[in-house]
Chain A
């Protein structure tokens, strides 16, 4: 019954490294999202995508980029990781047209040293 998967549950990287977080959904959803969650700040939208090769900035896109080459896959890229990007990263998807339930992946806890 897998719906949204993320490539890693835990990840430790060093400052300055390029980091790829992968998200795959098996529900044929058009819309996909990346959030980060921090204590006291809640969940904040980083980037989202309406369709293949489309991307839109969310509330906090600085320091991040995304790629969506296939409908089922949405990647978050940290071009040069910094310690303030240590966080829990959550991927989600939602079907186009109905805008009902948004499914979340299990999350990736990223630590940047």
Chain B
């Protein structure tokens, strides 16, 4: 059974600083997902990481995947207030029928202060 752990669960940082959110997972996951959620809203897809060594970047966010270490990271560069949100990572398991749904970490509540 896939388990996903994120840390930290809460992060307060200043604008302009860099930081990293970590996502560990327990068993093989062929994909690793990162989502953003604003208060009261649904989940917005940020990245889908497909293979070992995958790195994707969008603006000030960069995600990477190390399948051997079962670790994904979401790095924030020169944070700005607009990035304040809750960030989730998730893995996926497959069975014979198809996709069995995502298993999510608890989420990292990120607050970026001026």
B98:A102 contact, CB within 8 angstroms: no
A105:B104 contact, CB within 8 angstroms: no
With beta carbons under 8 angstroms apart, the residue of B42, B50, B107 that contacts A90 is B42
With beta carbons under 8 angstroms apart, the residue of B41, B44, B98 that contacts A31 is B98
Q: A74 at interface (Cβ–Cβ under 8 A)?
A: no
Count of B residues near A, CB < 8 Å? 26
Q: Which 5 interchain pairs have the tightest Cβ spacing?
A: A50-B98, A45-B101, A50-B97, A43-B104, A104-B43
With beta carbons under 8 angstroms apart, the residue of B31, B42, B98 that contacts A104 is B42
- Binary contact track A21-54/B, C-beta < 8 Å → 1, others 0: 0000000001101010000111111001011001
Most-contacted residue by chain A among B44, B48, B97, B107 (CB, 10 A): B97
In residues 5-53 of chain B, which contact A (Cβ within 8 Å)?
Answer: 30-31, 33, 35, 41-45, 48, 50
B99:A56 contact, CB within 8 angstroms: no
Q: How far is the CA of A11 from the CA of B90 in the complex (A)?
A: 28
A100:B48 contact, CB within 8 angstroms: yes
- Binary contact track B88-113/A, C-beta < 8 Å → 1, others 0: 10101010011111111111000000
How far in angstroms is the closest Cβ of chain A from B40?
Answer: 8
Please give, as numbers and ranges, the residues of chain A lying within 8 Å of B105 by CB-CB distance: 42
Q: How far is the CA of A4 from the CA of B36 in the complex (A)?
A: 17
With beta carbons under 8 angstroms apart, the residue of B43, B99, B104, B107 that contacts A94 is B99
Instruction: Sample 10 A-B pairs with CB under 8 A, ordered by A number.
Output: A42-B104, A56-B100, A90-B42, A96-B99, A99-B92, A99-B99, A101-B48, A102-B45, A102-B102, A105-B42
Most-contacted residue by chain B among A43, A101, A105 (CB, 10 A): A43
- The chain B residue sitting closest to A102, CB to CB, is B102
- The chain A residue sitting closest to B30, CB to CB, is A99
Q: A64 at interface (Cβ–Cβ under 8 A)?
A: no
B45:A30 contact, CB within 8 angstroms: no
Q: How far is the CA of A7 from the CA of B94 in the complex (A)?
A: 28
B41:A106 contact, CB within 8 angstroms: yes
